[in-house]
Amino acid sequence: MSLISELIAESLREGTPIESLLRKAYVVSRKLGLDDFSKLMYQELNGYNNTNDVPVYRVVKGALRGLDDYNGWIPTVIPHELEDALLLRRLMQPVAELNVIYNSGEDPLIIGLAASINEELSKVFMGPPTLYGVAISRASIYKILDNIKTSILTWALDLESAGIVGDGIEFSLTEIETAKSTPNIYNFTNNFFSNVEASQIQQGTIDSNMEA
């Protein structure tokens, strides 16, 4: 079975580790000289360092929560004009870490805010110093993982449709040239980015503090 056929079959099989799919897709894209796609696969495996590189499917919107001494994380109403700046988050962790977070079963998950933001929010709400966080649903993590799997499947099917199947883990010069000259293959990653400025969407790191 060719590497592309394996990738398609494993993308359809329930229980295939997403890391395995990413590694295989990374090998294929490197062999075909598809630099943008291989970069995406590498960053999914290892995490993102630059907010400009984070694809739109990793942008999530949560709800503001405040940490109450007696009741834990409680819902907090946020001024409308601050919603996008505070509640839209780019999740930059490696996919393996997202997988562990999803499998933890915790729901919702809390993304901590910087100390300066906590201080400003305490002033907005005219209350004592309080810790605030952005609560995101477990389903939003699943959506990211599922989007990655579906994207790899779609990409592999596009390769197969273009006659790019490989021989073992090798590809012919004709297949390499076809991959680079077929727009929906070479430009596949264009689907994952928008014109939203990086400054409008903050980096998100999921805390170990979960709402009970």
Strand partners of residue 74: 66
In this prediction the pTM is 0.84
CB 90 within 8 A of CB 58: yes
pLDDT of residue 203: 54
| Whether the predicted pLDDT of 209 surpasses 60 | no
| Whether the predicted pLDDT of 94 surpasses 80 | yes
CB 50 within 8 A of CB 162: no
| Whether the predicted pLDDT of 207 surpasses 80 | no
4-13 pLDDT per residue, tens: 999 999 999 9
| Eight-state DSSP code of residue 195 | S
- Kindly give, in sequence order, each residue whose CB lies less than 8 Å from that of residue 18, ignoring residues fewer than 6 positions away: 95, 99, 145, 148, 149
112-149 pLDDT per residue, tens: 888 888 888 888 887 777 888 999 999 999 999 999 99
Q: What is the rounded average pLDDT for all residues in the chain?
A: 87
Least confident of 44-58, 111-125, 143-157, 189-203: 189-203
Question: Of the candidates 113, 142, 127, which has an alpha carbon nearest to the alpha carbon of residue 209?
Answer: 113
